[in-house]
Structures are given as C-alpha cells and as structure tokens.
Structure 1
Amino acid sequence: MGSTGRDEEAVAAAEVTRADFPEGFIFGVATSAYQIEGARKEGGKGDSIWDVFADNKEHILDGTSGEVAVDHYHRYKEDIELMAKLGFGAYRFSISWSRIFPDGLGKEINEQGVAFYNNLIDFMIEKGIQPYATLYHWDLPHNLQQTMGGWLSDKIVEYFALYAEACFANFGDRVKHWMTINEPLQTSVNGYGIGIFAPGVCEGAAAEPFLAAHHQILAHAASVDVYRRKFKAVQGGQVGFVIDCEWAEPFSDKMEDQAAAARRIDFQLGWYLDPIYFGDYPESMRQRLGDHLPKFSEKERELIRNKIDFIGLNHYTSRFIAHQQDPQAIHFYQVQQMERIEKWNTGEGIGERAASEWLLIVPWGLRKAINYIVKKYNNPVIYVTENGMDDEDDQSAPLDQVLNDTKRVGFFKGYVGAVAQAIKDGADIRGYFAWSFLDNFEWAMGYTKRFGLVYVDYKDGLSRHPKASAMWFSRFLNGEAADIKPDTN
C-alpha cells in the first residue's frame, strides 16, 4: 500500500487549470432521463420499470418518484441555456427507451418521443453543446419486464438492437458519440440480484445477475454491430460502453491482499470488458462462479469481439481491499472473497465521506483506475462519463448556504486534477463529464441526496440555482472572466 496514494493526492491537489488538458478535450455534464425528465404520461411515453418500481412507496427512501422529477421535459431549453452559459462543451443525456418504443418491442415508433429528443439535440447544437447520448440508463420499458423477464431473456438482445437502430437512424446525423448501456453492473446486481433497484428481482438465485449481465454485453455488441454495418460509413460516429468501477487498492503487500484487489476489479471492469477485448469472462470469475456464469457460444464470441470504440468510465470512490476467506455477505460480494476497508493501516480514513455512506472522496483512485484500464486493455480511448459527489438534502437550510458547496468544489479540483495526471501518464482520455448537472431523483434515495452542480429548489417551483461548484467549473472553463454569480434569488 505504501504512501503512493497520499503522494498522488498531493500532486492532484495542486490547482488544476484548463491548460493542463490537451486541445480538443471535452468537458461536459451528465444526467439521465428518468432522474430529470418527468412527464411520465406525456408525449406518448410508455411506463418504464422505474415508473412501476417507484409506484411502490416502500421502494424509495422518501416515498417519491420520477413522475415529475425536475421537469426537464418542459424546461430543457432553460437547462441547456444555463449549461452553455457556464461554458460546458458537451452534455451526456440518456434517451428513454419507452419514449421511443412505449412497449419496447421496436415495431411502432412514437413520433412524439422522437420529436422531443430531436428538439433537445437541435437546441444543444444551437447553443454550441455537443450531444453525447446514452441509449440505456436503467429505464427498461415495463412491458419487456412484464412479458419476458427483461434482461433475463435472450430476446432482449434483439429488441435492444432494434431500439438502438431507431435512435441511430433518427439522431445519428447529429449525435456522434453514443453509449449503449450505463453501468450494467448496477442493473445486474441491484436490479436482478439484491432487488433494491428496478425491476426489484430478488429471487435468491445466484445465477440471475450474471444472466442479466450476459444479455447486456450481447445487447451492447449487437447495437455496435448494427451501427458499424448500417450507419458508421455515413455518420462517422463512435459507440462506447459505460462501466462503473470503484478503485480497489490492496490493503497490504501480502500476495493474498494483492490478489483480492485484482479480483475485486475483475468483478467490476473485467466482467464487462474482458469478453469484448479477450473473448471471455475473467478467470477469477469462472473459478468462483462455475455454472452460474454463462458461456459464450462461438457465434456470440464473434459478435462481441472488439465491439467498442471507447470505454466510458463512471467513477466515484475507492476502498482498500483485503482477502477474506468466507465473508458474510450476499452472493455477489461473498464470491469475491474480499473485505472493503475504509482506513489506512494507520487508522486514518482513506478519504472524507460525502452524503452517501458508500462515497468516500479519494481522487488518486481515479488516476489508478484509468492507468489500470490503459495497461490491461492496450490504451483504449477513455471518457470519464460520470464523476461527482452528493450532499444531504436540507430543506431547512437557507439558499445561500446550500449553494456554497465548498466540499464539492474541493472534490472536483481533486478528481479533475487526477484526470490531468492520468493524461500525463499516457492515458488517451478525450473527455470528462461531471455528475450531475442538476439535483435530481436519486433512485432508491429519492430526493434525499443532491449530486447537482445546479441546485433545484423543490419548494419553489423547481427553480434552478448554480452552486459554487458550477461557478468553479465556469471559471475553470472560461477563465476568471466568467460573469456568472451564485443565484440566490
């Protein structure tokens, strides 16, 4: 373990500037459809699994839902204008599958849904913001879950490819950066294993998360295949896969701790990237999961081989990892035979905690995660597609207090600095997206956590107010001439 992390943190903490990044490097913000759009019953949209999941108030900490969310569906122009004013060059948004095909089946396209995203994309471009589109950010059409088990059915691969093709055909003349599936690990484990996310499947069967993952990998590859065969020559875009990874730092120099940390990364990055780059799941997963881990046929291996133009990395936090022979944990974590540790062996915490229990602020972990990807996957093109931290929602605090998010400013200084260091190390990183542009519906946490650069006042008609972190980014991107001040009115 040593002092490498602390040394790197000191380097990253030096004031980072826009000049530390190459020409053409893109800085953007990110959101997802269910978390911000609202308009559940408008524009011909069908229900998604999150619409139905959140109907059960017990599933969400504060009993809320994304039915209205922060009303981006009606306020998208206001949001894009603010994004542009702050100086961001790109916006990573997600398309709601059930706005395009309300039943998910890919037969009858919903023209109202197409029109909404056309208007959104056109307005982005008008304001000088590049669109980066995610096809799937967890909001599966409910009909596909209800009729065939969603991601547990191999039929989903075909339906996802039809949906992707419709998006490429309708938006690909302007969208040049596509992401197929966002954080498939979260869908697999939390949606089809633990059941704390939609669709809430928690059957206790150890194989289900791995089957859901298998079909997501195949769906990703099938949509890349469609793009390359039918659209690439004319549209000239790129298609990536967005993986989330918490950095795993070995707790000690012991071989068993080193192996446990490597295994932990296999169960995050390797699970989804090894099949695409090397043709199969990591050996450490095969050893521990046996028949619970699906096998790729030769035809499937051919389909998935090198079906990726860039890796999208969602990264928030890091832990020390030690070997543990028989951890008392749910199956997915138990089979990894590891313990996640939050303190250095001196007893000092690895990093300050954000609002969420799981989110510790460890900037050097991002640099290490990127360098791991560079080494293992032969220096692929990388975008940091999500990175950010949350505050607790405090309805009693005055507006000027909640806008002064100094901890988030420090977070972004550290993590953006870590990206600059990774580029100096030789990583081919093309862009960075802060999560999230707006405070929003935070899945099972409802509105109790705020990740936004922009404060949304839930008591005052969902009015938008840039926080100090948005101001920091504006100065970072535009120089000290940025004329935006925190809006406390």
Structure 2
Amino acid sequence: MKEDFLWGGASAANQYEGGYDQGGRGLSINDVELAASHGHERMIHENIQKEYYYPSHQATDFYHHYHEDIALMAKMGFQCYRMSICWSRIYPHGDDELPNEEGLKFYDCIFDELLKYGIEPIVTLHHFEMPLALVKKYDGWRSRKLIDLSVKYAKTVMQRYQHKVKYWITFNEINSLFIARTPWHQAGIVYHEDENKTDIMFQAAHYQLVASAKTIIEGRKINPRFQFGNMILYNCCYAMTCHPLDQMMLHNKLLPIYYFSDVQVRGYYTNTCKAYQKRMNAHFDIDEEDADILKEGTVDFYSFSYYSSLVEGRETNQSADGNLLDGGRNPYLKTTDWGWQIDPLGLRLSLNYIYDRYQIPLFVSENGLGAIDQLENQTVYDDYRIDYLRQHIQCLKEAIEEDYVDCFGYTMWSPIDIISAGTGEMKKRYGFVYVDYDDLGQGTGQRYPKQSFYWYQKVIQTNSEEL
C-alpha cells in the first residue's frame, strides 16, 4: 500500500451525534422516526410525541463524548475520519436567513480536535439528515427550492472550514433514492397514493444531482484545493446463471447504481441514464442551465459503500438482504446475523468494475460488519468482525497492488458503536468501541474498546502488512 494511504473510520451525525435539542439545533427528519427491528420499516411521525422513544435524539451521544471518542480514534492511529455535518445544526429550519453560530462552533471544535491528532476530516454534507421544516414547507426534495437552500448551507460550512477540511462528499449513497421503498432518509419523501412515484423519484434525483454539481462549483471558488467526491451504495452483483436473460437482468440491476455516478463523474445523462429513464417511463423537468451546471460540477474522486453482494436472475432460489438492495441468495457465501452475504472478493471486483468505468481515484467510504456483540470483562471478543475486515482489506490490497486500481483510502463503518440507520436499534453493532446503551437508549454511555480495536490499530501501524 502507498505510504500516504488513508486509514480511518466513518459515521453519520444522525446515527451518532445526539444532542438533538441542544446548541440551537433544529429538528431533522430522523428526529421523528421510531425504532423498528429487522424486516420492519421504521414509523415516521409528523411531530415528536413525548410517549415514544426516538433513537436519533441521543444516538450514542458524540455531542458530549467527542473529546473521548476522537482520542480513541487517535489511539487506533486514524489518519482520517469520514463524518457528516447535520444541516439542521447549521440552519435549524433549512431556510433561515443566518446560520446558527453555536452549531458552527461545535464543528469548529470537532475539526480542531481531529487536527490536533493529525486526523484528516472527510466531510459528508448530506447524510440522510435534512431539516424537518423543509419537508413541511417544501415537501422535501420534490421542490427545486431545495437546490439553492442546500447550496447556501454547503457554502456556509465550506467557507467556515476551508482551512480545516480538504475532502468533501456531497450526498451519501445518493443512488439509494432509487432503491428505498420510502425515500424519507434520502429526500424527505413519503409517497402519496395519488402521485406518480417514478416521476417524483426522478425529479428529486435530478434536483440532488444539480445541487451536488452546484455545490462543487461554488466550493472550488472558495478553495481550489478542495477535493470533491460522490458517494454511491455499491453492491457487487452476479448473474444467477450464464443464460443470456440472466445476464440481461444483471445489467438492468446495475442501471440505478451507475445512473448517478455517470452524471457526477461524466457531467451529463449518459446512454445508461437515458436507457433507465426510458425503461422506467420517467418524466421530469430540466431547466436550461442545468446541463451546464452538471457539466462543470463533476467530482474529483468516487467514494462508495460496500458490505455484501447479491445474485440476480430469472429464478433466484432464496432471497438475501443487503444495504437497502435485495436479491438472490448465493450458495457459496455465508451471511451475517441480518442476512447480508459476506463476500470479500466482491470488494476487489467492485473496485475493478468502478475504476475501469471511470478512471478517477476511488475511496472506500464504508465497509463493516453489523453483529450482536456481548460485553464480557469490559471488552468484546469479536473475532468474527476481525475475520470479516481482514478478508476485505486483503482484497482491497490485491485490487490496489495487483490490479493497479487507484484507491487512496478506507474508512471502516463505524469506529464507535452507533444506532442502525435501517432500524434504529443498538444491538446491530459495527464499532471497534462498544457503547453501553441498549435499544431504548438506556445505559451508562461508557466506551469499551473491543478486541478488533487493537487489531485495527496494528493494521494501521503496519499499513496493512499485518492482518
């Protein structure tokens, strides 16, 4: 691995930060979402109801533990930390005239603490946490008004932190807008029975793509040294058989994955995009200046999440779960407690597929294992997590060293235990550090390094020579 390869971890404010009613922060879309369980969708309320528990309100309380948590990241040897800024902490209603200074100061403290330890911040501007007020006032990303409002927010934080942050990611897993049955996290949208879901979905996608490009254009004016990336939910996918129809089904499965990255990397709606639009019979409005904005505001690097792989074909035998995506079961792979198929080689293949298509630097922004951990003797003996990460990092090394894929960093999801995005649970744990909270947010909040904490410490110390 190159000496300047960036090792670290990744998290999202809505799953980690907490402090939902402190520091002048406004409500986000997550703050009215209840917890659920595997296989069940989270219920969304119009407003907070006191008798219910909302996981994002406390999450795992980074808001009050950031000194301790960043020190733990530094102890592991992190060279970077991918995090997100909560839009409603900066603009409580999303369309406020002036930003919330207390919120800006909070992130000043975070970045100063990271830089004190030599940890490079990699900041996601939109990670499923738009202000709730924008849903109530504008119907979320159904409205073109959100383009300029989101760019105003982005400009505010880019100007504020231009000397502290170099790497920016515009939208987290932007293609999941096409995958989610209810794109509440992605766009603040709950479909109505009487509306054309496809047209709403494609219109919201277009607005986010324009917002991403416009943010990049404005960011480069602020600091030409900024590096901008997209972020794609990427599941490696295989055809069930060598039958040509299975191969065609695989091709179609990948269209919504490449739809967004084609625009963000190449700057226009490619033949792949147009084919998907036609296949879905999608109609949406495009303003005259949008094409020029998309062309100018392309990304510098491609970042993606990778957790598992799926199978596609005419007769898939059993269904398998994944990160929003679902597909057929692969008989050659084991699964996690949540039914996600474990496929380290799929990461190497994915890196090759993406790099061959786009030929720009790559960044693995999420990869990890959600599991039920047991705290024993103030630690967790998580050999299963070590085994998962070891195999994936080995395949990452092979893609870089043997296949000559240009990849400059890897951030494991997530360094500290956080609540699940899909269910709001705590029991689905990803971290190197155990946090003493349960599914109802009860516990001490105390942090306990797991066995994997010390393993990853060695991985970083040796630049992955010791796995």
TM-score by length of 2: 0.87
Indicate how the Cα distance of structure 1 residues 154 and 189 shifts in structure 2: closer, same or farther if over 3 A, else same. farther
Deviation (angstroms), 1:296: 4.3
State the shift of 1:319 in Å.
Answer: 1.0
Alignment equivalent of 2:430, drawn from 451, 456, 459: 451
Secondary structure at the aligned position of 1:243 is classed as: strand
Give the corresponding residue for 2:415.
437
Alignment pair present for 1:122 and 2:99: no
| 1:121-160 alignment runs, 5 A limit | 121-160=111-150
CA distance in 2, matches of 1:144, 1:188: 21
Determine the structure 1 residue equivalent to 2:313: 322
**Matching of residue 271 in structure 1 with residue 251 in structure 2:** no
Counterpart selection for 1:253 from 231, 237, 242? 242
CA gap 1:177/1:110 in 2 versus in 1, 3 angstroms: same
Structure 1 partner of 2:392: 415
Q: Which residue is 1:59 aligned to?
A: 42
Q: Is the 8 A contact 2:369 2:430 kept in 1?
A: yes
The answer as to whether partners of 2:5 and 2:408 remain within 8 angstroms in 1 is yes
Deviations 1:152-209 (A, max 9, x none): 111111111101100110012110000111012334543745x688846032533222
Structure 1 match to 2:47: none
Q: Structure 2 stretches of 5 or more lacking a match?
A: 45-51
CA drift of 1:227 comes to: 1.0
1:342 to 326, 329, 344: 329
Report Cα offsets for 1:384-423 as digits up to 9, x if no partner.
0011110136xxx442497111111111111111111111
> Contact 1:454–1:465 at 8 Å: present in 2 too?
yes
CA distance in 1, matches of 2:287, 2:422: 36
Q: CA RMSD in A?
A: 2.7
Report the counterpart of residue 18 of structure 1 in structure 2.
none
Give the share of equivalent positions with the same residue, in percent. 30
Q: Does the Cα contact within 8 Å between 2:141 and 2:189 map onto a contact in 1? A: no
Q: Aligned partners of 2:19 and 2:394: how far apart in 1? A: 38
Q: Say whether the 8 Å CA contact 2:141–2:188 is kept in structure 1.
A: no
The answer (yes or no) to whether the contact 2:11–2:83 under 8 Å persists in 1 is yes
CA distance in 2, matches of 1:65, 1:363: 31
Distance in 1 between residues matched to 2:67 and 2:148, nearest whole Å: 34
- Residue correspondence of structure 1 range 149-298 to structure 2 within 5 A: 149-190=139-180, 192-193=182-183, 199=188, 201-204=190-193, 205-207=196-198, 208-228=200-220, 230-233=221-224, 236-268=225-257, 270-276=258-264, 277=266, 279-280=268-269, 282=272, 283-290=274-281, 292-294=282-284, 296-298=286-288
1:258-289 CA distance string (max 9 Å, x none): 22212212212x12012231611524412311
Distance 1:223 1:200, change over 3 A: closer
Is contact 1:248–1:262 with CA below 8 Å preserved after alignment?
A: no
CA distance in 1, matches of 2:186, 2:298: 28
Residues 467/154 of structure 1: CA separation in 2 closer, same or farther (3 Å cut): same
Deviation at 1:212, TM superposition (A): 2.1
CA displacement, residues 222-264 of structure 1 (integer Å, 9 cap, x when unaligned):
1001112x2133xx11011111111111222222222221221
| 2:21 equivalent among 36, 41, 66 | 41
User: Shift of the alpha carbon at 1:297?
Assistant: 4.8
Matches within 5 A, 1:388-407: 388-392=368-372, 397-400=374-377, 403-407=380-384
SS at match of 1:54: coil
- Contact (CA 8 Å) 1:77, 1:123: kept in 2 or not? yes
Could you tell me how far 1:89 is from its partner in structure 2? Answer: 0.7
Structure 1 portions without partners, runs of 5+: 1-20, 344-348, 481-489
Tell me: CA distance 1:249–1:87, structure 2 relative to 1, closer, same or farther (3 Å): same
Counterpart-to-counterpart distance in 1, 2:167 and 2:181: 27
Instruction: Give the Cα–Cα distance (whole angstroms) in 2 for the partners of residues 412 and 298 of structure 1.
Output: 47
Q: How far apart, in 1, do the equivalents of 2:109 and 2:126 lie?
A: 19
SS in 2 for 1:312: strand
Query: Which 10-residue stretch deviates more, 46-55 or 411-420?
Result: 46-55
Question: Hey, which of these two has a bigger chunk of helix by percent?
Answer: 1
Deviation of 1:372 after TM superposition, in Å, equals 1.0
Q: How many residues align?
A: 434
Kept in 1: contact 2:35–2:43 (CA 8 A): no
**Following TM superposition, by how much is the alpha carbon of 1:460 offset from its aligned partner in structure 2, in angstroms?**
4.2
Give the SS at the match of 1:433. Answer: strand
Q: What are the Cα deviations for residues 417-458 of structure 1, in whole angstroms up to 9, with x where unaligned?
A: 111111131211010000011111112412231111211111
Q: 1:461 Cα shift?
A: 1.1
Give the whole-Å Cα distance in 2 for the aligned partners of 1:55 and 1:469.
Answer: 27
Say which SS state the counterpart of residue 214 (structure 2) adopts: helix
2:452 to 448, 458, 469: 469
CA deviation after TM superposition for structure 1 residue 53, in Å: 2.7
Matches within 5 A, 1:98-117: 98-105=88-95, 107-117=97-107
Verify: 1:82 aligned to 2:72, yes or no. yes
1:115-170 superposed Cα distances (whole Å, 9 cap, x missing partner): 00000000100011111111111011111111001111111111111011001100
Inter-CA distance 355–172: structure 2 relative to 1 (3 Å threshold): farther
* Residues 199-208 or 236-245, more deviating: 199-208
Moved over 6 A (4+): 55-58
Structure 1 residues 148 and 460, CA gap change in structure 2 (3 angstroms):
closer
**Match of residue 11 from structure 1:** none
Q: Is the 8 A contact 1:192 1:199 kept in 2?
A: no
The answer to whether the 8 A contact 2:267-2:294 is kept is no
Contact 1:90 1:131 in 2 (8 A): yes
Matches within 5 A, 1:68-79: 68-79=58-69
